[in-house]
Structure formats: structure tokens, C-alpha cells
Structure 1
Amino acid sequence: MRKYTVLFFLVMFMIGTDTFLISPLLPTLQAQFDVSTSIAGWMLGAYTLGSAVFALIAGPLSDGWNRRTVLLCGLLGFSVSTMLCGFAVDFWTMCLFRFLAGVSAAFTAPQIWASIPVVMPAPRIAKTMGIAFAGLAASQAFGVPLGSWLASSHWSVPFWTIGTASLLLGIIAHRLLPDIRPTAAKERGVSILSRYVPLVASAKARGGFFGYLLLHLGCGTSFAFVGKWMSDRFELPIGQLGTVMIFLGLGNLLGSTVSAYAAKKLGTANAIAVGMVAPMVLYVVMSRLASLPAATIVYFVICTFLGSIFPLIMGALTSLNASIRGTISSLANATMNGANTLGAWAAGVLYVQFGGYASIGVFSGICLALSLATFLASGVFGSRANKNAPLPS
């Protein structure tokens, strides 16, 4: 079973590295393609847009297909489209290839969350979920900085490296993963829209996903331009930006490792509340910090708190209905990437038109406050009397 755990970790590491890679590269790519700050964020937004839109289709389809086949095809598309990013000749071709990479990721990542409860024994499901999340956190700690360092030689090198590594990972997955077919024959004939009916009909699910949208809108808006802000404020070259990103990723990694402990000690709802209140304040004050070490420490703390709550939130969402885990995972992925797409656009507008990174910090803090209020009101974390009742299938 350890081989599956390692495989899932590495797949999420590659997807996470590619997702966040643009942020530290943004100043370099903006100069390379000669685009304005207000639209530069769309090189990040194109990826998340593709992932958000196609995840809505990928999840329900994969619930009726062999998850192994979907995962392998997604990895192949992800590898090719990411390598093509290294050959982009202008802003629009980069956006196109990033969009295609996002589409491929939409078919790949949800299969991880949906496959874990199937291929892993029950006592190891929660731990494997945490390790898969640690792959995303580790991508920020090590993958994104490594990409930044590789970009010191040429901006295209990180894309070629990630694409090649993902192709090799696909070959390994082909050899290791078993077929993961629908549990019932009737699942093959269920329409895409009908799989969303239990979620749309549930106030708990609606509240949970809206809270998830607001959470990622706040986080995504802040992260999209953190590299740009640090480059402008502290005059950092791209290699040093990669070093700073290590600390942000380490915070995320630390948070994901203590997540289960925090939930056990405080309860899920309380652990999430604590994990969101501190970043609300820190987002607002960070832009006022005058030194790079202080800004790095504050963002490290932010990432630690947020990293501790994401596994808890995903665990709560995927437990809403066991028969449509692929649909739920994909909807969560679409929600996250849709929010990040809006965040990339909002970050550019706020940064240019409304006072720089300070306005982004205020916006992110407000989003987190609204997210927490929505989560608690929905009862998705068990704060209501019917907390253990699953959604209807």
C-alpha cells in the first residue's frame, strides 16, 4: 500500500508545482511578453480557469469510468501541455497552453481523492489523504522554489522539467495502479447533471462549497501577486523569490502535518475557526511590513494556519456522499480554481487601481471572514444536530 501513497504524493506534488509556478515567474514572464501588470495575472488565471470549467465535467464522468484510465490520460495531457508552455512565443500562446494544462489537471487531481478510499484500507485512508495534501504543500516548499531557481538559466526550463517528470510519473502509474471501476453497473448510465442533484438539494453542501469558494478567493488573490509585490517592494531577483517561496511552502507543509492533531484536540469546527481568524488579521497587516524577513515570517504563519485547515475541509466535503466522491472532489477542485481565476483577475485590478498590495490584503481578510461565517452557518463541519447525516444518494 505504501507504493500508492508515494504515487499519490508525487502526482499532487507535480500538479501543485505547476499550479503555483507562475507566481514567482510572473515578473519575468511579464517582461518577456511585454504585458501590463493588470493582465499579467491571467497567465495564472488561464490554468485555473481550464481546471475549474472542466472539473465540473471530469468528476461526474469519472464516477462512471475506470479511474485508472482517467488518471493516466490526464497525466499524459498534463505532461504535454506543460512542456508546450516552455515553447510559448507570446502572452496568448502561454495562456492557451496554461489553459490546456489546467484542463488536464482537472481530470487528474480528483482521481487521487476519489481513489484513496478505494485502494487503501479504512484505517489508512485519513493518513493517506493527509500525505496527498502534503504533496501540494511540499510543491510550494520545494517544487516552486526549484522552478524559480531553474528559471534563473531560462524561464522555459521549469516547464520542460515538470512536463518530463510528469510523463515519467504517468509511466510509473500505468505499472502500479489497478483498475478502479464503478462500484455498480448503473453508475455508468447516470447523467452528468443528475450526479450534482444531491449537492444542489442540500443546504449543507451549498453552504460548504460557497464557503470553500470564498476561502480560496481570499487565498488565491493574495498569492497571485505575492511574488510581484515582493519583487517591487524589496527588489528581489527571481532566484531569491524562489528562496522566499520555500518558507511559504514549509508553512503549508507544517500546517498539513498538524491538521489531524488540531482537529482531535479542538474539534473540526473550532480548529478551522482558529485556522482562519489569524490569517484574516495577518493579510491586512502584511503589506505594511518594512522588511523582507518580517514579511516572510508573517506569510509563513499565514500558510501554516491555512495548511492546517485544508485537509479538514476536504475531508468534510468528500464525506458528504460516498457514491459521488469523484463529483464532489471535482466540484471542490472547480471551486478552488474558479476562485483562483477570479483572484488572479482581482489581484491585478486591486494592485494597479486600488493602492497596491494593501488593498489585496484587506480583500483577502474580508473573504476569509465571510468564508468562516458561511462554513459555521452551513453545519458542514458538524455544528448542527444532523451533522452525521449523509446526503441522499
Structure 2
Amino acid sequence: MGSGRRLDLHTDVNVCVTAVKRIPVLSFAVMFLVATDTFLVAPLLPDLTRRFGNSPRIAGWMVSAYAIGYCLTAVFSGPISDRFNRRNVLFAGTIAFCVATFACGLAWSFPAMLALRFATGVAAAVGSPQIWAAIPQLVAPSRVVATMAAPTAGLTIAQLAGVPVGSFLAAVSTSTPFFVVGAVAALVAIAVGIWFPSVPPTGHSGGIIAQYAGLLRTPHAPTRFAAYLVFQLGNFAVLSFAATWFARGFGLSVSGIGVAMIVLGAGNTLGAVVGPRIVRRVGQGRTLAVAMACYLVGYLALPFSAGIVAAAAILSGTFFLGGTIFPVFMGLLQSLTTTARGTVSALANMFMYLGSTIAGIIGGPLLAALPGFWGISLLAMVAMAASLGLWAASGSLRRMPASAARGSRTEPATG
């Protein structure tokens, strides 16, 4: 990289240093918008219900429609995107996301809103996975985790901002949040089209099923994806039922729960911001091992919390760990292949949603069966211990060779 340009040996693309420096900013913007849109609807549900005259019992479908559209599309969009220039796919997905989000503000009925939220999820599933897939192809191996921290920060900051932004803009009208996010998305789409580097396909061929089968036959792939799934199970179990525990265990009001969740989100965001520095100092494998061990200690201590301050502090610490190691997870998964990174992104998203679903199914009975937060904490501890074992079995805890960190290859070390 001494000449100011670097050669991507897998895609035969010369990417100038200036273009590479824009990747974190554009990646942050795309993921921030997608995540903000995800959290935007929740505070609007009561007003949207009155606007459309639908039953409150089915209002949640306005949130679910987005997730369903995303999941169904990701199954196909990931493998298909591996056949095209990722910049073009990202641009098309962002444009579609802009149009669909803006159109939600024009929805004239409940069914129309469901269809438009579904379409928004489809657009997000086309565009956002390209961020995770493109980064390992565009930056040096030693910069993958640091660069992936930018879209991770976009996701975590959106968790903090999504509900307040939606509530603030809804004071004007229920359409305003969609108009504003759609307009900003249009600007981001233009920026992506102008400044995001070209990422040509790497020549992958074959059917969608063949791509998934080929990926899962890759050494370490089954164990790494299993580790990611089990981690998300434990992570979403805590995230899904923390608010219930805050209300039952500490008597928090709705506003109090909101403040507590902001504290947790702040920990996650801080982890995403400082995580790359920790990884550079400590090393990727050691960071992952120590973080998972700290999870076990934190979840063991959590049920003993004497008050909401202690509980929020411990959970904020565990969320900090999540923000720190999430880019590491993405780097390890993307390092499995050079030809099917879109498929990797799609599969990672599917496992994330699967983990969330399983957590919701088994977390509720555990919360009811055991006192306090013990049921969820024990589930999270088992999940984190199993995830740590699987990451270790896949070779992910080994130290990255110095030669790999300095090399010009676009893959992070696979361990």
C-alpha cells in the first residue's frame, strides 16, 4: 500500500486509498438508516392504529412485515448478489429502500402499510448485506475488524436513536418519520453511487442451494455459524426479556425501562467504537476468548443484582462486550470464502433471526419457571459457554500470523 493503491488479489480491482477511507462513513450511514427504519415503527404503532382504524391486536404486524420481508429475501438475495458488482447491488437496494420507506408515509390503509413495510424489508435485505460482504474485499486484513466497527456502530446508535427519532418526528404527523428517513436514504444512495468503490463479482457460479451447500462444506464453516447462532440465542434472550425483568423485579415504569435500555444501548455503542483498538492491542483470538469469559461472569452475577443500577451496569458491560466482538464475528465468517460473501451475510442474518426466534420460544417459560432473572441468565451462560467452545473448535481463538496482518490479501486470517 506504499504506492497509495492496493491490489485486491481476489477481485483484481485497484482500490485507491481515498476510496477506502470513505468505506467506514458510507457503511455507517447505510446501516444506521436500515436499523433506524427497523426501530422507527414501534413508537408509532398507537398513532398508526388510530390512523388506519385497525385492531391494536394486529398492529404488531407492521413491525413483523418488515422482518418477514427481510428474512425471505435474504435467502435468495445473498447468493444472487455474489454474481454482480456489490456496489451496484448496494446502490439498487438503497434506492429501493429510499422509495419504499418514503412510500410508507403515503400509505392509505393498514394492508397498504403492511405491503410497503414488507417491501422495505425486501430492499434492506438486498442492500445491507453487501456492506459486510464488500469490506473484506476492499480493505487490508489488518483493517477488517476496524472497518466493520463502523457499520456495527451504525446499528447500535440506531438502537438508541430509532425510538426517540420516531417519537419526535411523529409529533408533526405519522408520515413525517418515513418522509425524513426516505429523504436521507436518497442522499445516502447518491453518495454510495458516487463514492463507494466498485466490487466486481469473483466468478461464483451454480444454483442457490449449491452455493449454500458449498459454503457449509468449507472447513470451519459449520462450527463458526453454529457458534454465531448459539451466541445470538443467548444475546437475544437477555435483550428480549430484560425489560420484563426491569418491570417485575424493580418496578420500573415504561419511561424508566426506556432510560435503562438506552444505558444498555450506550454500552453496545461504546464497545463498537473502542473495540477495534482493543482488538489491535490484545489480538483477535484473545479478545474473543476474554469477552466470552466475561459474559459468563456477568450473567452469573446478574441475578444477584440488588437494584436497577447494578443490573443496568452489568448489562451495559455485557452489551459493551457485544459491540466489541460483533465485528470480529463478521470478519471470521466472511473469511470463510472469497467467492460467496453475500451468501455468508445472508446466512448470518438468517441465523441471527433464528436465534432470536428460539430465544423468544424458550426464554419466556424459563423466565416464568425460575425466580428473578435466573432462567434467562442460565440460558445465556450455557449459550455463551457453548459458543466459546465452538469458536475454539473452529480455530478462531488462535493468534493471527503477523505475515497475514501485513499482507495484501483481502481476507482476514481464518486461524
Asked if TM exceeds 0.5, the reply is: yes
**TM-superposition CA deviations, 1:136-158 (whole Å, max 9, x none):** 23223444544455567777754
Alignment-mate amino acid for residue 348 of structure 2: A
Q: Structure 1 residue 212: deviation in Å?
A: 0.2
Give the Cα separation in 2 of the matches to 1:179 and 1:72. Answer: 11
CA RMSD of aligned residues (A): 4.1
Deviation at 1:29, TM superposition (A): 9.0
- Which of residues 61, 64, 70 in structure 1 aligns to 2:80? 61
Which deviates more, 57-66 or 207-216?
A: 57-66
Aligned to 2:253: 236
Contact 1:207 1:380 in 2 (8 A): no
Identify unmatched segments of 5+ residues in structure 2: 1-18, 405-410
Further displaced range: 199-208 or 254-263:
254-263
Tell whether 2:255 aligns with 1:255.
no
Deviation at 1:210, TM superposition (A): 0.6
Does residue 1:369 correspond to 2:385, yes or no?
yes
Distance in 1 (alpha carbons) for counterparts of 2:47 and 2:228? 31
2:148 is aligned with 1:132: no
Deviations 1:12-55 (A, max 9, x none): 1122333455677889999995339xx96x76665444433432
**Which residue of structure 2 aligns with residue 34 of structure 1?**
56
Q: How does 1:268-287 map to 2 (within 5 A)?
A: 268-283=284-299, 285-286=301-302
1:220 matched to 2:236? The reply is: yes
The superposition leaves residues 223-261 of structure 1 with CA deviations (integer Å, 9 ceiling, x where unpaired) of 2344455456544345x5554443223211222233334
**1:9 deviation in Å?**
1.0
Match of 1:52 among 71, 80, 85: 71
Q: 1:294 to 1:384 in 2, by over 3 A?
A: closer
Partners of 1:273 and 1:61 in 2: CA distance? 34
Alignment pair present for 1:173 and 2:189: no
Q: What is the CA-CA distance between 1:372 and the residue it aligns to?
A: 1.5
Kindly report which structure 2 residues correspond to 1:288-307, keeping only aligned pairs within 5 A, or say none: 289=305, 291-307=307-323
Partner residue, 1:116: 135
- Kindly state the Cα deviation for residue 193 of structure 1 after the two structures are TM-superposed: 2.4
Residue 11 (str. 1) matches residue 33 (str. 2): no
**Equivalent of 2:324, from 308, 312, 321?**
308
2:356 partner SS:
helix
Secondary structure of residue in 2 paired with 1:370: helix
- Given that residues 204 and 380 in structure 1 are in contact (C-alpha distance below 8 angstroms), is that contact kept between their aligned partners in structure 2? no
Larger CA Rg, structure 1 vs 2 = 2
TM-score (structure 1 length as normaliser) = 0.78
Aligned position for 2:94: 75
Q: What CA deviation, in whole Å up to 9, does each residue of 1:64-93 have, x standing for no partner?
A: 012223212322333344456665966x88
Task: Report SS of the residue matched to 1:35.
Answer: helix
- The aligned runs of 1:347-362 (5 Å cut-off) are 347=363, 358-362=374-378
Which residue identity is paired with 2:26?
L
**Counterpart of 1:306 in structure 2: which amino acid?**
G
Conserved? CA contact 2:218–2:336, under 8 Å: no
Contact persistence 1:141–1:246 (CA under 8 A)? yes
Amino acid at match of 1:101: T
Q: 1:245 to 1:265 in 2, by over 3 A?
A: same
Amino acid at match of 1:79: C
Amino acid across the alignment from 1:301: G
SS in 2 for 1:359: helix
Q: 1:375 to 1:253 in 2, by over 3 A?
A: same
* 8 Å contact from structure 1 (residues 283, 361) kept in 2: yes
Counterpart amino acid of 2:318? I
Q: Alpha-carbon deviation of 1:220?
A: 1.8
Supply the distance in 1 between the matched residues of 2:216 and 2:175 (Cα, whole angstroms). 42
Distance 1:365 1:93 in 2: 43
Greater mean deviation of Cα atoms: 199-208 or 97-106: 97-106
Spell out the pairing of 1:176-191 with structure 2 (5 A cutoff). Answer: 176-184=195-203, 187=204, 189-191=205-207
**Following the alignment from structure 2 to structure 1, what is the Cα–Cα distance between the partners of residues 367 and 101?**
28
| Higher deviation after alignment, 318-327 or 119-128 | 119-128
Name the CA shift for 1:313/1:30 in 2 (closer, same or farther; >3 Å).
farther
Task: Decide which moves more: 92-101 or 56-65.
Answer: 92-101
Give the unaligned 5+ runs of structure 1: none
In the TM superposition, 1:188-207 aligns within 5 A as 189-207=205-223
CA gap 1:169/1:260 in 2 versus in 1, 3 angstroms: closer
Q: Distance in 1 between matches of 2:283 and 2:309?
A: 33
Equivalent residue in structure 2 for 1:331, among 347, 350, 363: 347
In 2 relative to 1, CA 4–202 (structure 1 residues): closer, same or farther, beyond 3 Å?
A: closer
Higher helix share goes to which structure?
1
Task: Give the TM-score normalised by structure 2.
Answer: 0.75
In structure 2, the CA distance between the partners of 1:291 and 1:97, relative to structure 1 (3 Å rule), is farther
1:323 partner SS? coil
> Any conservation in 1 of the 2:283–2:399 contact (CA below 8 Å)?
no
